[in-house]
């Protein structure tokens, strides 16, 4: 009798549905704040690297076959092609990384001089992200970062790219363009430009 009762209880317990493990929400605001902390100072490549280091990023040499290695190679080759015949063309690059709440973030600082002008860009990417940072989170963060910034230009092509672009002064003092975007993992842009996931970028002319 006791054995039958125990079997009944065990069978009943086994029949109960097992709850799926909770999936942690993407730390969108923390990622945006890390972008702001790491990329705000683009006065020089040295200053930018020091600022990103202070924000918790470490400089490293990426594997050429990694997502960041492929993106960097594509960008450098495209820039060199555009600057053919320009004797002033030169570049400086730093690649850095940090993990926030389990999310791997790669950061690229690219300093480019071409045809007499220089620009310094800071791009931070979560290549593995499966969804964009919610629009309301981006809007609230942008408003807190640059209250006087004009509304961004929006691109909303969910199969290819979702992006907010601040092209008139960017979001940080001294910058001329900033962007918060997302490229789906199955987007054709991933194959063409070696870019996927959450992509944050800002640029300054020096």
Contact 113, 181 (CB under 8 A): no
- The model carries a pTM of 0.85
CA distance 42 to 90: 17
CA 75 to chain centre: 16
Instruction: Kindly write down the DSSP assignment for every residue of 43-69, as one continuous string.
Output: S-HHHHHHHHHHTT-EE----TTSHHH
Q: Is 70 helix (H, G, I), strand (E, B) or coil?
A: helix
Q: How far apart are the first and last CA of the chain?
A: 85
30-86 pLDDT tens trace: 999 999 999 999 999 999 999 999 999 999 999 999 999 999 988 888 877 777 777
pLDDT, residue 165, reads 97
108-149 pLDDT tens trace: 999 998 878 889 999 999 999 999 999 999 999 999 999 999
Strand partners, 145: none
pLDDT, residue 22, reads 53
Contact 62, 76 (CB under 8 A): no
CA distance 155 to 82: 25
Taking residue 168's Cβ as centre, other Cβ atoms within 10 Å add up to 11
């Amino acid at each position: 009798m006791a054995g039958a009762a125990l079997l009944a209880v065990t069978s009943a317990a086994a029949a109960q549905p097992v709850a799926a493990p909770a999936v942690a929400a993407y730390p969108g605001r923390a990622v945006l704040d890390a972008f702001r902390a790491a990329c705000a100072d683009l006065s020089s490549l040295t200053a930018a690297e020091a600022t990103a280091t202070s924000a918790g990023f470490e400089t490293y040499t990426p594997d050429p076959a990694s997502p960041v290695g492929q993106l960097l190679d594509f960008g450098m080759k495209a820039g060199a092609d555009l600057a053919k015949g320009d004797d002033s063309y030169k570049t400086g690059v730093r690649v850095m990384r940090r993990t926030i709440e389990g999310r791997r973030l790669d950061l690229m600082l690219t300093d480019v001089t071409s045809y007499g002008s220089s620009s310094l860009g800071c791009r931070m990417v979560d290549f593995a992200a499966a969804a964009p940072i919610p629009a309301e989170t981006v809007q609230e963060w942008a408003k807190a970062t640059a209250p006087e910034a004009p509304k961004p230009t929006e691109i909303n092509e969910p199969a290819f790219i979702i992006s907010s672009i601040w092209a008139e002064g960017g979001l940080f003092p001294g910058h001329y363009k900033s962007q918060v975007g997302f490229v789906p993992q199955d987007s054709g842009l991933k194959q063409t430009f070696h870019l996927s996931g959450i992509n944050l970028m800002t640029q300054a002319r020096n």
